[in-house]
Each structure stands twice: as structure tokens, then as C-alpha cells.
Chains A and B, each alone.
Chain A
Amino acid sequence: MLNIECPHCGARPEHEFRCGGDAHVVRPPLSASGETWAEYLFGHDNPKGDQTERWCHSFGCGLWFNVIRDTVSHEIRAVYPITAQRPEQAA
């Protein structure tokens, strides 16, 4: 069970949250090629290790925020606002 630090509510158990997938995915312009759109829609880095992802405190305050989480140990390394850049990583 993850203990996730909602920026608004503080630490709460994982089943109050919903993982919204990869963070920092940038929508291409309408003029982009089919391949670029396919990458945007379906491509994933899928790292074994630290991954940036979006979470929503859906059964709490409803806030969306970003998380850096290790996909092997599931340890959460950083929590930061949804519009912020990926921070220099806390080791």
C-alpha cells in the first residue's frame, strides 16, 4: 500500500488516489505527422526505475499533481505541482 503525500491534504493511503499515467506528455500541433500523433497517443518511456506520473486525489480533494515514483520499489521520490517542471531529483 502506497502512502501518498497529497499537496493539499497530506499523506493518505493509495486507494484514495487514481494514477493518471505519464506526466509531461506534450500534445503535438494539429499539423504533426501520423507517426508523431501515434507516439503522443501510444508511446511510453516505461522506465524500470524512476518514472514521472500524474496522480489525482480522486476520493479526497480532487487535486491533480505530479509524482516521481520508482517502478521497482514503488518508492515515491518527489511530489510537485501539476504545472511544474520535473524537479532536480531528490536521491
Chain B
Amino acid sequence: MSHYSALSIARNALSGHSNWDPAWRSPEPAAAYDAIVIGGGGHGLATAYYLVRVHGLVKVAVLEKGWIGGGNTGRNTTIIRSNYFYPESAAFYEFSLKQYERLSSELNFNIMFSQRGVLVLGHSRHDMEMHRRSANAMRLNGIDADILSRDEVAKLVPALDCSPQARFPIWGGMIQRRGGTARHDAVAWGYARAADARGVDIIQNCEVTGFTIHQGQVTGVETTRGAIKSNRIGIAVAGHSSILAAKAGFRLPVKSYALQAMVSEPLKPVLDTVVLSPATGTYLSQSDKGELVIGGGLDLYASYAQRGNLPVNENTITGMLAMFPTFSRVRMLRHWGGVCDVVHDSSPIIGKTPVQGLYLSCGWGTGGFKAIPAGGYCLAHTMATGEPHELNAAFGLDRFDTGALIDEAAAASIPH
């Protein structure tokens, strides 16, 4: 792998940028691997990377039915934050945020992580009381959180309608200043390139269609490119988790819903932080290209369609206009959806399954982009050692039997 640097850009400029090495190979699948990760999203690619980098596994493959990063990883609104309530979540997401802070240099790939702050608005006295409670919980867990007054919010986000006539008046907000955004594709590509450089086979256009299981132990997968053997397999397929679980003979506490987002035409700089409004159900930021990146709540019924429906789209836009009336003439450029793996307590499932040697990472729902480094790290640890890391010990499938749910529904700010 050639190192990316200012020098390499200059050197390649001499040949008109026509001689760059491909960022990863496209090998044929081997007959067997020490470990297989199903799903070439951020979580699958990060898992493969940490399996090799941290645990020294040698023969590892990622099997992706389409192209890497083509699922939710390449469809999300890229918000990264660790403002969760419970200690287990705080430790997990903060670990992830810390990895993000150094990921560009670790992977030698610019993921454009921009810690521009994530602001959750408060629209009533009660909102502000709940924000204070969250901020206190976060600080007790060692995570930065500040409460902003109405005037401080107005100063930070001048375009926001903070007048008393606003449909949902602004009372203040809670901000995590270390939160922000990153380039989603770059996270997938950066992990892919770094994993490939360490020998991981990234195999695209390879859909897993079944498992071979011998006396309760997984022994391989069947794919559209033939059977591949491995007795250590991780599933990281987001909205398709239930489908693969069914092929391995078990059910999951997961329901798949479409979550949609859209971007506007590029504008001059107008918004340099991420703003979420629990009252309007809309959140937005402005990308480095100038587009407004706008998201809202989940569609209201289960779906495997990678597109959002129009009523929810209209709600989201209406919510944005209630917050930013000045955007009423802005035109939208693109609108899309992703299939999210939603779990009852809005916390992930990372760990063992009823099948020996088969591991699972899912339940990321609407918020798993921020979790890619930690999710990959923990799934890799669980696959390599057979036991969960302390960061994911509380996030096993067994919590639904024991009732030890970690209900982070409120942490999303938008009812998801």
C-alpha cells in the first residue's frame, strides 16, 4: 500500500493522477478463512481491520453482497457523538469517539472528522430540565456536556429562529462540543484500505445465502460465489440481520425500518454546528460542500425498501422550516433511505448467538455510524477470543431474556 501524503499527491500530479494504486484489491474468494465477516459496511470492515491489527489473525475475508459502504454506512447523516445516558453506553460510545479523534492518522486516510459540536435544542422548561439531567449524567461519566442559554444558542446558530413567535420557541440547549461529523464513505474506504493492506480479502458482489452448521457449530457460508469454509463468522449486515439469523435458525429482537435523509443544493456557509430539535423531529448540519444535510424520524412501518416515504419527508421539511424559516426557498438535491435494524431499547447487540462460532453485531438502528470504531473493535475481540470485551459485555443478545435492557431511546433526541 502506498502511503498517502502531500508528497504522494505532488508525485501523482506529475502523471496526471493516472497512476494511483487501487485502494484495495479485488481477490477471488479462497476456499477457507480463519474468520469471515459478512457485510462490507463500516462495522464489517472495521471488524476485519481489528481482527488482523489487534488479534493477529491472518486469513480474514469480508463478504459484501453489493459494494462496500453501499448500505447505511454510505447513507447516513454522519453525526458522531457520545452523549448517552447510561454508564455502559457512555463508555462504549466515548471509546468510539476517541478512536474517531485519531482515525485519520491511524488509517492514513482523511475521514474529515470535524468536531463542530452537536447541539440538542430545548423548547420548554421541561426540555431544559431533562437536558440538565442528561448533561449531569454525561459529566459523571466523564463526557463533555454544556447547557446553553437561549442567547448562547442564538449566537451559535444565527440562522435559527429564536424569536418568541417561533412555533417551538427556543429555551436553550445542550451541546457536546467534541461531537461532530465525518465523511461516511471515507470511514468505510479508510478501514477497507487499511484492512486490505494487512491482507484482508474484501470480496464484493458476494451475497451470503446460507450457513453450514455442524452439531451447533458454524462451519462455513454459502454464497453467490460458492461455499466458503470458516468456523468463526461475524454478521454485520444492519437491516438484513433478521434474514441471516433466520438462515442460521434463530430469531432476533430486531425490526427493520427505513430511515430517510436528504441534502439541499450547496449554500454559502450558514451553519457550522449540528442542530437537533426533539420538538420538530428534524436535525441538520451543513456539509463541507455547502449542502444542508437533513434528517428526521423513522418511517412509521417496517420496510426493506431503501427509500423513504413522502409523509415523513414532508414532516421533516416542515420541521426544518419551523426552525429555519430562511431556508424556505432552498431546493433539495437528493433524497434517499437506508434500512435500519431497530431494537426495542435503542442499544446495539454485539456478541454471541445460539450457534457456536457465529457472532453478531446489529441493532445499530439509526445511530451506528458513530459506533463503527467501537463496534468493530468489540466484534473483533468477541470473534477472536470467544468472549465479549468489557465494553460490549452488557450488549449481548441475552439481555432480552434477563430484562437488563439499556434503554437509550432518549439519547437519539429524535424519536426513532
Chain A interface residues (CB < 8 Å from chain B): 1-2, 14-15, 18-19, 21, 34-35, 38-39, 41-48, 51, 53, 69, 71-74
Shortest distance from the beta carbon of B388 to any chain A beta carbon, whole Å: 19
Chain B interface residues (CB < 8 Å from chain A): 240, 242-243, 246, 251-256, 300-305, 309-311, 344, 400-402
What number of residue pairs across chains A and B have CB atoms under 8 A from each other?
A: 64
3 pairs of A and B residues whose beta carbons are closest in the complex: A42-B253, A46-B242, A19-B301
Give A18's nearest chain B residue, CB to CB.
B300
A46 touches B301 (CB 8 A): no
- Cβ–Cβ < 8 Å partners of A2 in chain B: 309
A19 touches B255 (CB 8 A): no
What are 5 A-B contacts defined by CB distance under 8 Å?
Answer: A1-B310, A14-B311, A34-B402, A48-B256, A71-B302
- Cβ–Cβ < 8 Å partners of A34 in chain B: 401-402
Shortest distance from the beta carbon of B44 to any chain A beta carbon, whole Å: 19
- Cβ–Cβ < 8 Å partners of A38 in chain B: 253, 400-401
Partner of B302, one of A1, A42, A53, A73: A53
- Cβ–Cβ < 8 Å partners of B252 in chain A: 43-44, 46
B311 touches A45 (CB 8 A): no
A46 touches B256 (CB 8 A): yes
**Most B C-beta atoms less than 10 A away, residue of A15, A41, A42:** A42
B311 touches A43 (CB 8 A): no
- Cβ–Cβ < 8 Å partners of B309 in chain A: 1-2, 14, 74
**Most B C-beta atoms less than 10 A away, residue of A1, A18, A39, A71:** A71
Q: How far is the CA of A44 from the CA of B256 in the complex (A)?
A: 10
Q: How far is the CA of A51 from the CA of B240 in the complex (A)?
A: 15
Q: How far is the CA of A2 from the CA of B301 in the complex (A)?
A: 11
Partner of B304, one of A1, A39, A45, A72: A72
Q: How far is the CA of A19 from the CA of B302 in the complex (A)?
A: 9
- Cβ–Cβ < 8 Å partners of B311 in chain A: 1, 14-15
- Cβ–Cβ < 8 Å partners of A74 in chain B: 303, 305, 309
**Most A C-beta atoms less than 10 A away, residue of B256, B344, B401:** B401
A43 touches B253 (CB 8 A): yes
Q: How far is the CA of A73 from the CA of B309 in the complex (A)?
A: 12
B303 touches A43 (CB 8 A): no
- Cβ–Cβ < 8 Å partners of B401 in chain A: 34-35, 38
Partner of A42, one of B243, B256, B400: B400
- Cβ–Cβ < 8 Å partners of A47 in chain B: 242
A48 touches B304 (CB 8 A): yes
Shortest distance from the beta carbon of A2 to any chain B beta carbon, whole Å: 8
Q: How far is the CA of A2 from the CA of B402 in the complex (A)?
A: 38
Given contacts A21-B255, A45-B246, list 15 more A-B pairs with CB under 8 A: A1-B310, A19-B300, A34-B401, A34-B402, A38-B401, A42-B400, A43-B251, A44-B254, A46-B242, A46-B255, A46-B256, A48-B240, A53-B302, A74-B303, A74-B305
B254 touches A46 (CB 8 A): yes
Give A2's nearest chain B residue, CB to CB.
B309
Q: How far is the CA of A2 from the CA of B302 in the complex (A)?
A: 13
- Cβ–Cβ < 8 Å partners of B255 in chain A: 21, 44, 46
Q: How far is the CA of A71 from the CA of B240 in the complex (A)?
A: 12
